Amino acid sequence: MNPIRSVLSALILVTSTAAFTAEPPAAPSATPVKHPTLKSCNREATAKKLSGRDREQYVKDCLAHKPAADATKSP
């Protein structure tokens, strides 16, 4: 029974040492990208010459990947 304990102790020691010597995970970037398409949505809104609430709604829909409302249809 004593050799089994020695082997298990050695195994535990090796695995715990390996965990401490492993490289730490990479730190998150200082400026996380919340909306990777925000710039492109804003560029599209500028190209369409939208402003005010129309622009806000367009950018919101663009970020949510919703299709833009057709401007030719009237309710």
Which tens digits make up the pLDDT trace of 18-30?
A: 556 656 666 666 6
Structural domain includes residue 62 = yes
Average pLDDT over the chain reads 74
Structural domain includes residue 67 = yes
Total domains in the chain come to: 1
Structural domain includes residue 22 = no
Structural domain includes residue 12 = no
Structural domain includes residue 1 = no
Structural domain includes residue 19 = no
SS3 62: helix
Structural domain includes residue 65 = yes
Q: What is the pLDDT of residue 39?
A: 87
53 pLDDT above the threshold of 80: yes
Give the integer Cα–Cα distance in Å for 57 and 73: 17
Q: What is the pLDDT of residue 63?
A: 84
Q: 35-46 pLDDT, tens per residue?
A: 557 888 888 899
pTM of the entire structure?
Answer: 0.42
Structural domain includes residue 64 = yes
- Residue 64 sits in which domain range? 33-75
